Structure 1
Amino acid sequence: MILGLPTETALVFGLILVTVALFVTEVVSPDIVAIGLVVALVVLGPWTGISAEEGLSGFSNPATVTILAMYVLSKGIEETGVVRRLGAEVAHVTRGNENRLLAAVVALTGPIAGVINNTPVVAVFIPMVTDLAEEAGVSPSKLLLPLSYASMLGGTLTLIGTATNLVASDLSASLIDHPFSMFEFTSLGLVVLVVGSVYLLTVGKALTPARVTPGDRTTQYEIDAYLARVLVPARSPLVGVPAADVASDAARDLDIDILDVVRGHEHFIATDSDRELNARDILTVRGAPDEIKRFCDVADLRYLPRATVGDDELDNPAEGTLVELVVPSESSVVGDTIAGARVRERYDATVIGVRRRNGDLVRERFGPHVIEAGDSLLLQTTEETVEYLLETHEFVVTGEIPDLIDRIRGRELQPTTLPALAIVGSVIGLAALGVVPIVIAALGGVVAMVVTGILTPSDAYDAVNWNVIFLLAGVIPLGLAMQDTGGVDVLASGVVALSALVPAVGMLAAFYLLTGLLANVVTPVASVVLLLPIAVDTAGRIGADPFAFVLAVTFAASTAFMTPVGYQTNLMVYGPGGYRFTDYVRVGAPLQALLTVVTTLGIVVLWGV
């Protein structure tokens, strides 16, 4: 016995506390924590009751496999360009009007996120929203947080709306023999989406701060003093030297980047050009003021104090352009330094500013900076690189070339659009009608995507967010350990003691609130795995409907509004919106409280308790 608990129960509770602490502190990435949890559960099997087969059962769990398949299906839709085309049409209609733009973003994002993984949906809409906010003179901060929240609300519409729903369905099947059907809770999801949308367009709009001032990105990153123009006199030793060599030498020997070369009316990017420098060329350089002065002394250059450098000078689509990127948690560059990630070599891009996920700005000595999920990078690069970055999963483009929206609108839809939509529609239809289980329908859809040429096998593997898959596979056995060691009974007994003071409806609301709070600091999936068995056990003990409690936990886990780390899309908009941690509490806490009431009452009205 430890603290009055059986040794095996206390041990599992200890593992839970360690896991939650690691999730919150992010000392180690959550997927690695989850894998370590599997190892610990199996090694401590004599006490946890978890065998090697049970420890690895998360990898073969139908929810895990279904989520893997849904990533591929979402990629197939994304590849057709239909979502981006739809976003461009919205952009065209709403230009210049903040209210119309906010309403369109919320109204469009929610329903789409009900059938397509919301991460690529938000990734597509971030650059559109950012550029349109700039054109309208509106802070992007006023629109990006509602974009993330709307995508989360849309996930409550269908079984495949979020990974959380699929995991909850699998747990519900094992605990009460009641898996979710495709549209079983769509009626409640619609209520949640409508109420949440009204909040975002009214109270939420008033509470959302304007952290990023609309205007030049160089001003937003406060790098004006770190940009300058210098003249190459005829006597300079740089005359006759290829521009790329000069840029390379300057970056190696000094904390200086040569961004471009101005020759009369012509601009060209220095790092991407083998043209030799001529007398009277003007170089645009980035560096600390003292480093720029040192560069001028060493290379015998003349500093031009009256030449200002801003977005207009750097954003020249014919030769070079500014682009802002956010680093998603699944990017392979997370944990690398900027120098180690070889941003210049891999993307023909020069980093000129970094906004860290905590809001701090980095304006010099970028090489040693360790890239974290949620960081935003301001780059100067080529238009071709921007289009490539739009298609990669390494970064989320948060500011596009303005003309790109119009070009997207002018493009014909891909020939694969109708087949891709038909495949996803068939998956949903077969699962909804119960012809085959959702996992089989989804895997069949993956096969169809590859066989029809919509995706290559390589595309399919690349589409999967393996961090999430390993996280899911790792935390699922934890739920088994809680049940096998009696942990669920212990916690449920403690909760039931409150039922003498709180009616069943109050208990339902309490589980919703507790799940939502936990999902904000760990992950939605982990909160479901931990709390859903306790909720079901509690419902049985107090004579309530277990399925009502399953729904409360499921919906609450999908609405982690109060922290940037509670949900991936919250982290994606963190840097571009310039938000502070407290902004999520300020806007998300009232919404979470509102939905606690709305969802609880909705469950009572639609299913009883």
Structure 2
Amino acid sequence: MSLELLAIGPLSGHAVLMLVFALGVFATFALDRFQIGSVCLAVLILLPTLFFVFPHPDVEPYRFFGGFGHPALVAICALMVLGHALVLTGALEPAARRLAVLVEKSPRLALLAVLLLAAAASGVMNDTPVVVLLMPLLIAALKRAGQGPGFMLMPMNFAVLIGGMATTIGTSTNLIVVSLAASLGAQAFGIFEFFPLVALAAAPALVYLWLVAPWLLRHVSPAPTAEAQPVFEAELRVAAGSWLDGAQVREVLKRSRGRLPLRRIRRAGGSLLAPLPTATLRAGDSLVVQDTAERLKEHEQRLEAKLHAIDEERAPDAEHAVVAAQLVVTPESPLVGRTARGARFADTYGLILIGLRKASGATSTREQLPDQRLAPGDVLLLQGPTEALQALQRDALGLLLDERLALPRQRKSLLALGTLAGVVGSASLGGVPIALAALVGVLVLLGTRTVAWKEVGSALSVNVVLIVAASLALGDALTVTGATGFLAGGFVQLTQGWPAMAVLAALMGLVGVLTNFVSNNAAAAIGTPLAVEVARLLGLPPEPYVLAVLFGCNLCYVTPMAYQTNLLVMNAAGYAFRDFVRVGGPLFLLMWASLSWVLARHYGLV
């Protein structure tokens, strides 16, 4: 086989180098041991370096920085700001709250409405804000209805991913694919041009998510019991002059009605005592307990003791409500990679970190908290004023899993919605480039003070910028060195004699499998030139093969690391890796088969 592939065309030393380099990048993404932003920055440094050390007559090394000025990246950044404006102003909150009411009355019917709304909204705004908006409202509504979030959050998330593939602006991946394809000579796709294809293919998938997926997830958090909620370790401080000062442990347990999960007693000097019934407490002691966020607050009120680390000098004003809330670290959060100590919650927001639950499900002891490095999907238990918690979410540090702390609806929500509608309308009907239209939309939001420059900075994700720039650079390097042509020739030879629809499905399936283990933007940047080259070798129009890559890059259902919103719902609902395989595997096959058939039939390849 290797001789046949080499016979396709001469494989230069630079092409071999780029194939090895790309394989190393994919392996690094799949291992998930390094921060994705660091990997992408390394790619942007190493690519020009390699071409400086091993010069290529037709390649200027600095060309690999061109992704920072690529229209696709400009559009992605502007659309992130537009989507963030919808979250800040609560523009979609009224519809989401009506859904939450329906969840309480009829969870099964509400699931269908959630799937349809989530899919529709994600077609015109980034996937992550849609999930961020719906998650806390649905969790709270399901709790009031006596239901756990397990049966609804994963189907909702997958509906968001399905809707995101339906338009050119649904995800950053789509924009990369259509922009690259146009630069390689393929037809420029309109915003809603392939929406009918996705809608037709998505119909059976949404039925599956409505009727079958909840049954497959029936074992996940069947009821919102305290035992199913994340458990945190915290400390209750014994204040001088309080009833606890001089009390014995047996009295404390009696007052808590035997519900206090007391692990040990920490003396003011740092020594630890066993929680024996006859042990006597004194001022400065801390009761080390382990329980859910809700029960920790109950213990605090019942025992009249403050949760550890509310510093008296930093105590919030009495007129402001002090609450404990869970914050999920989002993939774009600036907290990712930092330690809890480095986050400086107390100095910046006046908030106290009293617990941490890792995305893996492990909890952290009080001693471990300051030096724990944060990762996407981690849940922080924070205590402080409501306004400070809302500021934390407004600055895009994470997602608060409490509907009571949802950002209040702003009077400029209609302006935010109208601006987004104007951007989409001008780009789809007026023929204005989406990058230009989106930038004008951002200018309108800034001019009307719907968003401030500080909030623009919060909306932009450094990781997304680096991923897009690095992906474009890697795809360009593979194309210019001839490595893409080599891969395309090999693919054509492997599928020689296959029906056209089978070749299309094979390309989509290949990219789909790849995107579940590496960055979907990286898969898009490499898969798009491959699709164009495969079409050229087959003597066929490139458009169906480009769409096969676009759809394949969005089939990220099988692993939690396949897409950033997968990690968000994973910890919030208590899913395990196998739950994504159990539910996402059949969905992958269903969408793969239906999209392949619809695409082939539309372009006459059946």
Name the TM-score class by shorter chain: 0.7 to 0.9
CA deviations 1:557-609 (Å, max 9, x no partner) are 11211111111111111211212112111111110111111001111222233
| Whole-angstrom distance in 2 between the partners of 1:14 and 1:93 | 53
| Whole-angstrom distance in 1 between the partners of 2:285 and 2:38 | 53
The structure-2 alpha-carbon separation of the partners of 1:235 and 1:144, relative to structure 1 and needing over 3 Å to count, comes to closer
Correspondence 1:87-98 to 2 at 5 A: 87-98=96-107
Correspondence 1:89-108 to 2 at 5 A: 89-108=98-117
The structure-2 alpha-carbon separation of the partners of 1:216 and 1:47, relative to structure 1 and needing over 3 Å to count, comes to farther
State the partner residue of 1:251: none
The structure-2 alpha-carbon separation of the partners of 1:533 and 1:281, relative to structure 1 and needing over 3 Å to count, comes to closer
State the partner residue of 1:35: 41
Is 2:459 the counterpart of 1:463? Answer: yes
Pairing partner for 1:551 from 536, 547, 550: 547
The structure-2 alpha-carbon separation of the partners of 1:309 and 1:301, relative to structure 1 and needing over 3 Å to count, comes to farther
State the partner residue of 1:335: 337
Report if the CA contact (8 A) 1:164-1:557 is conserved: yes
Is 2:515 the counterpart of 1:519? Answer: yes
Report if the CA contact (8 A) 2:91-2:417 is conserved: no
Pairing partner for 1:377 from 372, 377, 380: 380
Shift of 1:19: 0.9
- SS of residue matched to 1:288: strand
CA deviations 1:233-259 (Å, max 9, x no partner) are 6798799xxxxxxxxxxxxxxxxxxxx
| Whole-angstrom distance in 1 between the partners of 2:479 and 2:286 | 71
Q: Which amino acid aligns with 1:179?
A: A
CA deviations 1:128-167 (Å, max 9, x no partner) are 1111121122221221111211111111222111111111
State the partner residue of 1:357: 359
State the partner residue of 1:324: 326
The structure-2 alpha-carbon separation of the partners of 1:281 and 1:487, relative to structure 1 and needing over 3 Å to count, comes to closer
**Structure 1, unpaired ranges of 5+:** 240-261, 263-279
Report if the CA contact (8 A) 1:172-1:178 is conserved: yes
State the partner residue of 2:93: 84
CA deviations 1:213-252 (Å, max 9, x no partner) are 543557623459x77797966798799xxxxxxxxxxxxx
- SS of residue matched to 2:16: helix
Pairing partner for 2:592 from 585, 589, 596: 596
Shift of 1:312: 5.6
Shift of 1:311: 2.4
Pairing partner for 1:532 from 503, 528, 534: 528
Q: Which amino acid aligns with 1:358?
A: S
Correspondence 1:288-437 to 2 at 5 A: 288-291=263-266, 294=273, 297=280, 299=282, 311=294, 314=297, 319-365=321-367, 366-401=369-404, 414-437=410-433
Report if the CA contact (8 A) 2:246-2:280 is conserved: no
State the partner residue of 1:131: 140
| Whole-angstrom distance in 2 between the partners of 1:390 and 1:512 | 37
State the partner residue of 2:190: 181
| TM-score, normalised with respect to structure 2 | 0.84
Report if the CA contact (8 A) 1:516-1:557 is conserved: yes
The structure-2 alpha-carbon separation of the partners of 1:449 and 1:501, relative to structure 1 and needing over 3 Å to count, comes to same
Correspondence 1:96-175 to 2 at 5 A: 96-175=105-184
Shift of 1:299: 2.2
| Whole-angstrom distance in 1 between the partners of 2:150 and 2:85 | 30
The structure-2 alpha-carbon separation of the partners of 1:121 and 1:352, relative to structure 1 and needing over 3 Å to count, comes to same
| Whole-angstrom distance in 2 between the partners of 1:223 and 1:460 | 34
**Higher mean displacement: 317-326 or 108-117:** 317-326
State the partner residue of 2:450: 454
Correspondence 1:475-514 to 2 at 5 A: 475-514=471-510
| Whole-angstrom distance in 2 between the partners of 1:311 and 1:183 | 45
Q: Which amino acid aligns with 1:9?
A: A
Report if the CA contact (8 A) 2:293-2:381 is conserved: no
Q: CA RMSD in A?
A: 3.5
Is 2:31 the counterpart of 1:25? Answer: yes
